[in-house]
Amino acid sequence: MCTPKDIIKQYDIKPRKKLGQSFLLDQNIIKKIATAARITQEDIVVEIGAGIGVLTKSLAQKSRKLIAVELDKNLVEVLKEKLAGFDNVDIHSGDILKFDINSISSIYNGKIKVIGNVPYNISSPLIFRLLTFRSVIADFTLMLQKEVVQRLVAVPDNKSYGVPSVLLQMFASMEKLFDVPAGCFHPQPKVESAVLRGTFLNKPLMELLNETFFTRLVKAAFAQRRKMLINNLKNAKFLEGFSETGLNEALAQSGIDGKRRGETLSVEEFGKLSNVLWLDINSEKNKTRS
Ligand code: SAH
């Protein structure tokens, strides 16, 4: 009694849609993800949404310590039973969006590997939360909706390239590993799935003078995708201290033609423009003007 189907039957588990529950059934895919995560006996692993523990077991066998986070209290009980034989596993009952990865890193004195077949309804806040913990995360290997993976790995001039691509790629290298057919899950998701690996860089692609400002700039540049960059910047509230000439000067100084669309800018170009504008805002010239 240990295939995923058997566990679902044994515990009479009724998957809860609201919690994004879609369990992996395919043993080959489970193995493939566990291998893709490149875990060694030195590693501290946090698994997101451990569910009925099918991936958890493979991860536990490979790692030094595994913390499995699961929100559904019923499944926490299943996990406790299924993983009772492992002394390197902790089951944490709670929300991954509130879970403090920093504290895990301090307790075990190392960088964390994050893995999971995650609930798709929280993928965006989850990815941005991982970004905030980047100093203590080595990498993350996640099953996500295929479109989300495409967005995160997208390069300029691609229709999937947008705010998440730029914000994540400034700090991490992103790689799509493989697609996973809907038939590998129970219940079958209505969307396609793929596995993503993100590896946080030791330092950002370029040094940013102000990260919050960088984020705002990227969002502004994509506010209306089909507009020229200069027009999106003109419409951005936080840049209202700039005249059009001021914006054009900053663009020229960054080596960027304002007639381009935001979606054509590389991650480095966004960084450069953000730094130039930030310096302008903080320069004496602007201080006396305001
Ligand atoms: N990893 C398992 C289950 C994937 S389904 C498998 O591959 O079979 C997603 C899991 O995430 C479910 O078990 C669901 O209960 C859990 N979950 C949903 N929202 C969560 C949250 N905010 N924090 C932690 N776990 C969550």
Domains, the chain:
4-200 (3.40.50.150), 211-289 (1.10.8.100)
Pairing of strands 172-180, 193-200: antiparallel
| 170 CA to centre of ligand 1 in angstroms | 28
Report pLDDT for 290.
Answer: 47
Mutation test of ligand 1: which of 23, 24, 54, 100 has the most ligand atoms closer than 8 Å to its C-beta?
Answer: 23
Ligand 1 touching residue 24 (CB < 6 A): yes
Longest dimension (CA), the chain: 74
| 157 CA to centre of ligand 1 in angstroms | 34
Residue with tokens 């949404």: 49
Paired tokens of 107:
């307790």
The neighbouring-strand residues paired with 225 are none
| 68 CA to centre of ligand 1 in angstroms | 10
Residue with tokens 């602007």: 286
262: Cβ contacts below 8 Å, ≥ 6 apart: 218, 221, 222, 225, 229, 232
Report pLDDT for 1.
Answer: 46
| Distance from C-alpha of 189 to C-alpha of 261, rounded to nearest angstrom | 35
| CB-based contact 221:233 (threshold 8 Å) | yes
Ligand 1 touching residue 51 (CB < 6 A): yes
In the chain, which residues have pLDDT < 50? 1, 290
Report pLDDT for 284.
Answer: 53
Ligand 1 touching residue 123 (CB < 6 A): no
Ligand 1 touching residue 70 (CB < 6 A): yes
Ligand 1 touching residue 185 (CB < 6 A): no
Burial of 6 (0-12, 13-18, 19+ CB in 10 A): exposed
Q: pTM for the full model?
A: 0.94
Ligand 1 touching residue 54 (CB < 6 A): yes
